[in-house]
Structure 1
């Protein structure tokens, strides 16, 4: 029997290689030629801004209210929402650090800052996905009807598309 939350599990599976890439890019900072690093950072920033953050906003607008209702406590998702705030903050910090990549070389503090932000994003998003899949999705699988699940994922898709249109 397939799980009602399979669409979200599939979406996480699609996003995961990009999340794993954050760690690989962090590993490469300081040893990869700067033109290649610039391209990696640009692609990483684009992924965060155009895919991951809209996904997070869709969760905020559609998923977390349902989870809160099912748990009988709207504040039950507050720590997950805080993860989203920190992901947004680190994404903005990465964007600011991109400007330092215009120089001919990176100094030690720039290398450290890039690694810190990229490793931080990697760890935070990986843990965030695990919490959703281990705690929230089993709850939804057992308590939602098929119709409610369908409505939830349609609402998430609409919210993600609205966020993507807003950033263009």
Structure 2
């Protein structure tokens, strides 16, 4: 799971807010890709042709409609602003984007389940490392540069800040509850997302991203370090009330909840 530094010193409050928005969107993307990865790997291992095809379509659609546009927007807006101070870092990030694009091509072209599973596993691993570098190396450089107004550069860019209307790769397209979180499964076979080790600053966004990949009727077991009441309120608003919550364990070390999209 991609993490982020606890503190980023910015040259203005607006830039600090812009950094936070980008990091939140990164967490959502990582959570979504993690969920789609486990869904596709599970489908590949199940030997169920229809389930694999559905999971494969959802993963490819997410990559082509959300992941790659995000990368393209970074190269168009973020990276040029940082090149004067961190040219080597920017070149390295672009090289990683090229590798990500190559893995998406492999995933798109994969007809055999084992090849698709291998491609998306590699894609997820590379993407999470890439986000970590952006959060901890690239964004601080931009935020601290008084000559760069990060908030102005990113204004209105939903590819980098999130908040756009969902595309056809919304949860209803994943169908039949085969979506999962990418962090393992509970004893009942329901995908399980343990956020206790996820930094608090991006914890909610990570859950949002994972739940976005859950189809209607599907469930996700959430493991939290406390009763996540604020998160549940936000999730209910985000899902337009289409979420059912069942407490499986109430502390003291962990709270386990089954979240079901209705």
Q: TM-score range by the shorter chain?
A: 0.7 to 0.9
Higher relative contact order (CA 8 A, sep 6+): 1
Shift of 1:63: 0.3
Which of these residues, 76, 91, 111, is aligned with residue 78 of structure 1?
91
8 Å Cα contact 2:154/2:160 also seen in 1: no
Aligned length, in residue pairs: 146
8 Å Cα contact 1:26/1:115 also seen in 2: yes
Match of 1:115 in 2: 117
Shift of 1:158: 8.1
Which structure has more helix as a fraction of its residues? Answer: 1
- For 1:4 and 1:140, the matched residues in 2 are separated by 10
Check 1:155–1:76 CA distance in 2 against 1; reply closer, same or farther (3 A cut). farther
Match of 1:128 in 2: 130
- For 1:124 and 1:23, the matched residues in 2 are separated by 13
Check 1:65–1:155 CA distance in 2 against 1; reply closer, same or farther (3 A cut). farther
Structure 1, unmatched stretches of 5+, are 101-109, 161-168
In structure 1, the residue corresponding to 2:45 is in which secondary structure?
A: coil
Check 1:32–1:17 CA distance in 2 against 1; reply closer, same or farther (3 A cut). farther
8 Å Cα contact 1:67/1:136 also seen in 2: yes
TM-score, normalised relative to structure 1 = 0.76
Matches within 5 A, 1:1-168: 2-28=16-42, 29-31=44-46, 33-69=48-84, 71=85, 73-97=86-110, 100=111, 110-144=112-146, 148-154=149-155, 156-157=157-158
- For 2:160 and 2:139, the matched residues in 1 are separated by 19
- For 1:129 and 1:22, the matched residues in 2 are separated by 17
TM-score, normalised relative to structure 2 = 0.50
- Judge which range, 24-33 or 42-51, deviates more: 24-33
Shift of 1:32: 5.2
* RMSD across aligned positions (CA): 2.5
